[in-house]
Amino acid sequence: MHPDPQRKSSGHGASSDGERLGHELLEQRVRAIPRLLEEYLDQKPPRIQEFVCGNIVTTGIGSSEAHARYLAMLLNTIPGNQARFQPTVPGEPPASEEYSCVFSQGFSPNMRRRVEALCEHGSGVVITGLPRESEGAERRELLDRCHRNEIPVFHIPPAGEDETLIRMVGPWFGYLAAYQIASQLGEEFFPGIEKEVLLQMLTGAEAKADSICNQGLTIDKLFSSGATNIVLTLNSERWHGEHLSMKMHEGLFLPKPQAETFITFGHGPFQVIAKNGGTGILLRTTQQEEDRRAASIIASFSDISTPLFEVISDLPPVLAPLEWEQVMNFVVLRLMKERGDAADQRNFQRPATYDLTE
């Protein structure tokens, strides 16, 4: 075991350190999610215009990519739909006959062209964290253009997540907005969510996170020399794990954990972790059909004496990402405090803007 040399133990001045490093601000944001949820659900969501063609394109960058892939997965369960995720490629707007779902929390330069293309052909929906009265003339004009062209815009909380590198609130609400869209397009497949069910889940998320950390998920374990950290899913959708591995990467400045599925884990990833050690995080639900696959993964980790931590959602499988997201928010918050100055969320290196629109 090789302790992190930059780790800063908690003690006198821990609160001021938390404020200086952005940890307290992030915790306040995460704890505000239940209140923001009630406020969000009290507002009537925009109605999505009917569309004849079943060709649907979803797109987004960063955490928004996870939301876009999640929506495509949901929509493909509705008969007659052909939904696909499309990466953002310069100069490649969606075809005019396709219905576009564009996720962009802050209208980054690389996503503005996609929103402009949507306004041009006028068939789709925008999901953003920008408020209706957004700061910045270019962003405000683009929002106004969406409204003039009657493009439905889902304004998800919060109005801004500046000051820190990692975002924790917008990514949670992005999943919720994706489900709301799927529900409008196929209510018989995706019934409305009961607010009390979500609030109960949010109330219990911190206790689940504490249980995971108390079982031994620590900074020292994650940063062990030569260790391989893996986030596992029990289906063929890798994006669940990709998004949460990026959350750990950005929140802890941890080398990005590998995201693997039940299918891909048994080959190279398992052999590497068996030889070099590491940690596994398994995303699962309480559905019985998952038990056999979960038992196989658990036995594999047990055979090589490698710790595996389960993040278990009690929600229906289609809503599980909402619970995994919030539990991992609290896990990362706790580990972030443990990591101290090495997880400084305020004073990070800001790169030049990667604008691929030119």
pLDDT at res. 106: 86
Q: Is the pLDDT of residue 12 over 70?
A: no
The reply to whether 195-343 shares the fold of 29-185 is: yes
- The pLDDT value given to residue 140: 85
pLDDT of the residue at 53: 53
CA distance 257 to 240: 13
CATH class of 29-185: alpha beta
What pLDDT shows up at residue 108? 83
Residues 230-247 have a mean pLDDT of: 92
Residue found under tokens 């439905």: 152
Structural element, H or E, at residue 194? none
The closest alpha carbon to 326, from 314, 338, 337, belongs to 314
- 91 pLDDT higher than 60: no
195-343 sits in which CATH class?
Answer: alpha beta
Average pLDDT, integer, range 317-337: 97
pLDDT of residue 358: 43
Three-class SS state of 303: helix
**E strands along the chain, which residues?**
55-59, 82-85, 99-103, 124-128, 153-155, 228-233, 258-261, 278-285, 308-313
- Computed over every residue of the chain, the mean pLDDT equals 88
Mean pLDDT of the 203-218 span: 97
Instruction: Indicate the domain borders of the chain.
Output: 29-185, 195-343
- Torsion angle in degrees (nearest 10) through CA of 57, 61, 66, 67: -60
What is the mean pLDDT of the segment spanning 265-290?
93
**pLDDT number for residue 344:** 96
Confidence of residue 1 (pLDDT cuts 50, 70, 90): very low
Average pLDDT, stretch 194-203?
A: 97
Q: What is the rounded CA–CA span in Å between residue 257 and residue 245? A: 5
- The 10s digit of each residue's pLDDT in 329-354 is 999 999 999 999 999 999 988 776 65
pLDDT recorded at residue 92:
62
